[in-house]
Amino acid sequence: MKTYRIEKDSLGEVKVPEDALYGPQTQRAVDNFPVSGIRFPRVFIRALGMIKTAAAETNKELGLLFPDVADAIQKAADEVSQGRWDDHFPVDIFQTGSGTSTHMNTNEVIANRAISILKGKSQIKSIHPNDHVNMGQSSNDVIPTAIHVSVCLQLHELVFPALRHLKETLDKRSAEFSDVVKTGRTHLMDAVPIRMSHEISGWSYQIAEASERIMSCLPRLLRLAIGGTAVGTGMNTHPEFGKMVARKLSGRTGLAFVETDNHFAAQAGMDSATELSGHLKTAATSLFKIANDLRLMNSGPSAGLAEIVLPPLQPGSSIMPGKINPVICESAMMACSQVIGNDVAVSIGNASGNFELNAMLPLIAHNLLQSLSILGNSARLLADKALSGFILNRDKIADIIQQNPALVTALTPVLGYDKAAEIAKRAYAEKRAIKDVAAEMTNLSPDEIDGLIDPWLKGNAI
């Protein structure tokens, strides 16, 4: 049987689980928002812990907190940041729009844990979640700050390394296939030849540009709302508090955080987060395209393009023995679709700021952090489990290109468009090589035809 304790807040008594580090405001939120079962991700709780540690250190240095109280809060906040108390953060994502429920959840956990740390070591018997842990702060500035800090951590620890690894993998495979000439395709139809290395280089360039776009957001994401407190006025906080907290967060993370130039904008709108979400969406469309190209090139093995063979990772059917599906490509495409959908939610969330506060901060945080996580993980998986191990079906590629009617394009400067189209149409209908049909339908010698077409077949003209 679960046991409970009775706690009080400004609205009255609340029954809280006996072993819970959180208090009455968290419990009210748990009772009020049984919506999805989705909680804030680890990196967001980590960021909240970091902010509370920096705030306690700052208030201690400013002489606003007794040293033993500040030290206990700092130690408890460090434990929150490290994930020790994640089970005590039960509040649903779909809660109060300011994120106050999760913010108070953090304050209550840290306060109760700090009391335990001080027990028997200090004459101070109580640490208050609002008066002490939340000193100089408000949900209005802490939650936007936590969004920026957690996003920057995810970018540097997951997304940028994953995209860099993906580009390096693409570049390596491109160099391996510089001698392979294959059929190009537009509208999913045969087009003039292209080197396999050139096709992969296009993918690599897309990923490089995606990284550049995302990185361009960093100067704005590094500006933090902390110090603005209620509606951006800075009420009840020291004028140096925001600057000092940002500096301490920089020292802890290695990232160049600074206090924002305008607290009213930083708390009323989440424009920088929305900008990032848009660039993540663009990156997702690029990754989707690459995964889909691989899936199509792998199609077959007998009735599809069958230009490549992706690594066989798992059985593909519960009824068809031997069937192998492009599961990593499909996983990546689903993740990218989710990122695209998340961007819509983030955009609506940002547009829903009213006057001095955005009232969809938890929604923005959840969707943005999920996008970062699944995009980064999918990029690495695509590199390691699809791109790095696929093999070429060189014979199939060579056979396809010999029958490619688009090779007639090489004859167009000599024969004209209309005559070349006649040759292509007949070659396709009779399933013959362009060279042979052109020899019958024109006055060009076989050597002349070879001189025009062979450079493309061998890649010398590409």
Eight-state DSSP code of residue 237: S
Candidates 187, 201, 318, 388; catalytic one:
187
Half-sphere exposure at residue 18, Cβ-oriented, CA atoms within 13 angstroms:
4
Q: Which of 364, 208, 372, 226 lies closest to 290, judged by CA?
A: 208
Q: How far is residue 390's CA from residue 438's CA, in Å, rounded to a whole number?
A: 36
Q: How far is residue 64's CA from residue 62's CA, in Å, rounded to a whole number?
A: 6
**8 Å CB contact between 93 and 40:** yes
Q: Which of 127, 100, 97 lies closest to 26, judged by CA?
A: 100
Q: Which of 397, 437, 447 lies closest to 195, judged by CA?
A: 397
**8 Å CB contact between 267 and 358:** yes
Q: How far is residue 73's CA from residue 16's CA, in Å, rounded to a whole number?
A: 22
Residue 189, token pair as written in the block: 């139809």
Candidates 116, 126, 317, 445; catalytic one:
317
Q: How far is residue 28's CA from residue 24's CA, in Å, rounded to a whole number?
A: 6
**Has 317 been annotated as catalytic?**
yes
Q: How far is residue 416's CA from residue 181's CA, in Å, rounded to a whole number?
A: 25
Q: Which of 87, 61, 76 lies closest to 112, judged by CA?
A: 76
**Has 187 been annotated as catalytic?**
yes
Residue with tokens 């304790």: 5
| C-alpha 242, offset from chain centre | 28
Residues serving a catalytic function are 187, 317
